[in-house]
Chain A
Amino acid sequence: MLRQKLNSPEIIQMFGVSKSYGPNCTALEEISLGITRGDFVFLTGPSGAGKTTLLRLLIAAEPPTRGQIIVNGRNLSRLRPAELSHYRRQLGIIFQQSKFLSHRTVFDNVAITLQAQGIPNKVVKKRTWETLQWAGLEEKKEAYPARLSEGERQKVAVARALVDSPLILIADEPTGNLDEKFAAEIYKLFEEINRRGTTILFATHARQLAERSGRRAIVLRQGQIVESR
């Protein structure tokens, strides 16, 4: 049974996952789902539905109250602290509100993903530069985050998450406050990276975005899956 789970084509699996903050606050209730390797999946639902909570469990920011989460064959509750950093290197993470190193340039902010993994400086420079070009940020590479527009900053967050070609991209409202043009650009970047093999889990309360794309969408409401097609 377990072997079957581990060899499954599903890169992300959740089994009866619940998360509560105190007795009267259940953010997620009995979530079971599977996401196929290489898929591009939307996670939607109204504000407070539990999208961010689900993603936080996936990146091992906190443990679930109940249930098991298996990512790429590894049970997250069994990860030792030393393995945690290596697990996170397989993920590209974009937050609802991304944080940056305010005293570092855009270039350095993107490079940090690679530097944190101890990749040689030459490779870091080359890959960072390629990613900045790919994301259309080459003109901003010497700028500081505080001087960028919201959309540009979010693009930097995307570049930072994708510079090491992660196995899975976990994005929480990456296009939340952006205008149509920027949102479309970022969406295009995601499609491209997905074509190269990265599995994407894209959380947004904008349901029409998911519907327009025709991709799979998991809909949450009050911590439960109400629709999954």
Chain B
Amino acid sequence: MNWSSMTFVIRETVGNFLRRKGEAFFVTSAVTVSMVILGAFGLLLTNLERALENLGEQVRVVVFLRDDLTPTQRSRLEDTLRRQSEVERFRFVSKEEAYAQFTQSFPGNRNLLAGIEGNPLPASYLVSLKGEFRQGRDLERLSRTLSSVAGIEDVEYGKKWLERFEAVVATVRVAGIVIGSLLGFSVLFIIASSIQRSMAQRQEELEVLQWAGATRTMMRMPILCEGAFLGGCCAVLALALLGALFWALQSRLNLSAPFLGLPPPVFFSRQVIGGGVAAGVALGVVGSSFACRPLSRKHGA
């Protein structure tokens, strides 16, 4: 393909697209809507996973100690903690520190403890976990191991909460994959059938090109370009719509996120945006190459 054929191909592609305004509009909106839904799922998943990661960083196992813990028991407990492969680091919180933290966190409730003689708060170990073990399963296993060690009063972690959140993320992920592939196929189908109709309308042109000695590449190129153009345009449109929707909702989300203990929501990164447009183009090319398969048979090109 040289410059002359390229300009021909580009002119054909744009001309064909513009000549079928009505259908182009219908197809563009159908594909764009599908892509917006697809993108919304992606965005939701991105943010949920980010939140999950963020929560994971906060995941700690709190090991409450009995007041009558002996120094030997304590050092044995520390050895046990050191031996656990899940444990990243741990920190001892004395009874006094716990008391100070409590009164600091809840200054209004100081008299809550004042009525009680002495310090009712137990000493504890705050155990942080390595990244790959910040999951409900691992937390449970660790807490079971630790519960059996002598001198331990109780082991606590945000089990229910974390597990539920993990379940939500997993569900969204599965739903995303299912809906995503369904929408992907329908986009492919819409593009392919649109290009097929476009080809039917251009039967005469294809015939003229064929007898003029156009190569197979040259006959297919405008068709593939039309698909790529359609897919790319729809992806850009969908991302723009999604972006507008996101910015419109963002101020509200930003306000409510801290209350839920979630990080502020983010939009797709530049790489993901680029990848999305590339995926749109790729869908268009694949869809239109389905459509121009009969070409080689019919025109012997």
The size of the chain B interface, using a CB distance under 8 A, is: 25
Question: Is the beta-carbon distance between A116 and B214 smaller than 8 angstroms?
Answer: yes
Question: Is the beta-carbon distance between B4 and A119 smaller than 8 angstroms?
Answer: yes
Asked if A112 meets B208 with Cβ closer than 8 Å, knowing A61-B300, A103-B19, the reply is yes
**Residues of chain B with a CB closer than 8 A to A91's CB:** 211, 213
Residues facing B in A93-137 (CB within 8 A) are 93, 99-103, 109, 112-113, 115-121, 124
**Residues of chain A with a CB closer than 8 A to B205's CB:** 101
Task: Give min CB distance, B214 to chain A, whole Å.
Answer: 4
Question: Is the beta-carbon distance between A124 and B4 smaller than 8 angstroms?
Answer: yes
Task: Give min CB distance, A223 to chain B, whole Å.
Answer: 23
Task: Give min CB distance, A83 to chain B, whole Å.
Answer: 10
Find A117's partner among B204, B210, B213, B216 (CB 8 Å cutoff). B213
Question: Is the beta-carbon distance between A88 and B211 smaller than 8 angstroms?
Answer: yes
Question: Is the beta-carbon distance between B212 and A112 smaller than 8 angstroms?
Answer: yes
Question: Is the beta-carbon distance between A82 and B15 smaller than 8 angstroms?
Answer: no
Question: Is the beta-carbon distance between A99 and B207 smaller than 8 angstroms?
Answer: yes
**Residues of chain A with a CB closer than 8 A to B3's CB:** 120-121
Question: Is the beta-carbon distance between B216 and A82 smaller than 8 angstroms?
Answer: yes
Question: Is the beta-carbon distance between B208 and A101 smaller than 8 angstroms?
Answer: yes
Question: Is the beta-carbon distance between B300 and A113 smaller than 8 angstroms?
Answer: no
Q: Is the interface of B mostly helix, strand, loop or mixed?
A: helix
**Residues of chain B with a CB closer than 8 A to A113's CB:** 212-213
Query: Is the C-beta of A35 less than 8 angstroms from some C-beta in chain B?
Result: no
The size of the chain A interface, using a CB distance under 8 A, is: 31
**Residues of chain A with a CB closer than 8 A to B256's CB:** none
**Residues of chain A with a CB closer than 8 A to B211's CB:** 59, 88, 91, 93
Query: Is the C-beta of B5 less than 8 angstroms from some C-beta in chain A?
Result: yes
Task: Give min CB distance, A153 to chain B, whole Å.
Answer: 13
Find B296's partner among A81, A89, A117 (CB 8 Å cutoff). A81
Question: Is the beta-carbon distance between A115 and B5 smaller than 8 angstroms?
Answer: yes
1/0 contact string of B1-22 vs chain A (CB within 8 Å)? 1111101100000010001000
Chain A contacts to B: CB under 8 angstroms = 59-61, 81-82, 84-91, 93, 99-103, 109, 112-113, 115-121, 124, 160
A-B CB proximity, top 9 nearest: A89-B213, A116-B214, A116-B212, A88-B213, A99-B204, A118-B5, A113-B212, A85-B215, A115-B8
